[in-house]
Structure 1
């Protein structure tokens, strides 16, 4: 399709890059980019690494204008009429489309017993969330972080950088248990311990909030905190797709180009769950979101489609740049390891390297990413 109207719901990395790529690959029709936030499109990864501060823009408004891409801020979609190919907005406006792209991302998971209140209890997903945590951390003496995944660890590091005493609670037996092998969990544990973070794993805690603070109890221990950040993952925002009857399973089901079971609708980024053989995979990654945006745009425009890349992820904690190429499933076998001062681990299955993780090893990780087979996408959990 070289003409026609494309509406993209969501102005994060996936949505913005899809819009730009549609022009790059020759779409001459209308492109409309909808964001339910009031802010210009911004990068999310720096939010947990820096907390507050000026947002990092994905694209300047001038570039969108030059490419005749219409950006509508503070605009949420409420319904899709697949038969008439129209999208209804929350203000009742109806927009016609030829192709609809869902790049709705997701929201922070919350604990029903500890809802965020913006005063003592916080989640971290948006720029406004990060700014609220930043303000609270300026007066808090100690902070509780719930969740020992990447988000929780980055948040703990950022709060320590602000001088807060930090306790991190993780229900699993080790940090990042679902996403990395045990050696990486041990390294992360030692890293945070060395910076003064108290880490409690493998236990359930009872947590209550009051005007005086946050009380946490675990294993006979009771502690009071000035603030708490709930960092227990992301819930894909597939409600719009579900209401439209699209196939969903903890995200919108797509093929590797983002096509849903409706040929006029694509889903990309954190909301997309990709069918890979008999399995499905949802990848929450900055680089993957960009690549998905480009591949969906190529498919929409009928352009040659780029080969998929191996997954790529990074995390900044203290003075460490931790980079991951491939999918380091906990089930992989450790092939080789290099120790301090700049550790590097290589993991394999069936004798084939499937993932490489390095700390302050940017050059080695770039090489690993180039050489990794895209079969790393097919590593089973």
Structure 2
């Protein structure tokens, strides 16, 4: 193995002698390992135990700051794995994170994760954590349970190139300051819907992947973020709400997109959020992503989906069992000339036996995986015949009912060709 470079510019350690009454002097080879090896070892233990290594010797006194992957969760900071926490535990968690960051002497961080229920901890505290990580060139940030923390997208650091490549935000508020009043939205209308132009997003221009989960999202900021992140390849919007009934995703670099349980949310300016909060389906989603190759969509919209994705190869699509919805889905698939793999999930308990009609030709489809949440009595395997007739180059077919494999064949090409030739 080639020798690795020493972190922080420290010289190689000289093996020290250990006293032994039985076998004579011994050499401490572990302490003599290069800093990069010791850093790797330290990354495998909890941060609480890692800090205890500082009492081993002078050599180990400051080694813990070589750790570049910082993970703050209940196990690492409190020694337990509980998801929910008491008020005292939350205060202790914040205290220990602050103490760790205050004493941390490292100049470079690869990843920074906070996975703990903070229950509306003042945002200024978490702001300082994010500033700390970004100032040290962090490459990945994961904020998983900060209890609707308003993420500071306006952070900027003069003279520093953007290093942040991957970000995962869960239960955060992602908005332009002008659209958020305390804990309430200003709903976007045609008159006031415009890109957020007063936020400096330079810190995030190097993003490659962005995952937003269980959060509240301002469409203005999301649009501006996408227009500034010209290297973004992966975007996931999961179990989140936006302050608009329509969504447009436009990106010249996006390759992978996942939209799951995305809703329009309206919060009235009232005292009680629980009594005045409701969700509704989006009316319209438009995608303009010329490099998109993978798309997951659960079809939680009441209107239509428009797509410009000329090289899309794989799509995972969840749809209700209504014949009209299924027909609309296949009309969309037929407009994707490079589509090779289709994973279709029909998620209703009752399956409409209405035959499919007028399915347009899927010119490039090679693999079709159908999963149906219906009983054997509700589903007739011949229902897929029009799909086979529309797929002359199909090579693999699988049908699953409620988790049980109904049919799988690698001879789908022969079946499809027969169906295609025999179609009326």
TM-score of the superposition, structure 1-length normalised? 0.24
Structure of higher CA gyration radius: 2
TM-score with structure 2 setting the length: 0.22
| Structure with more contact order per residue of length (Cα contacts < 8 Å, sep ≥ 6) | 1
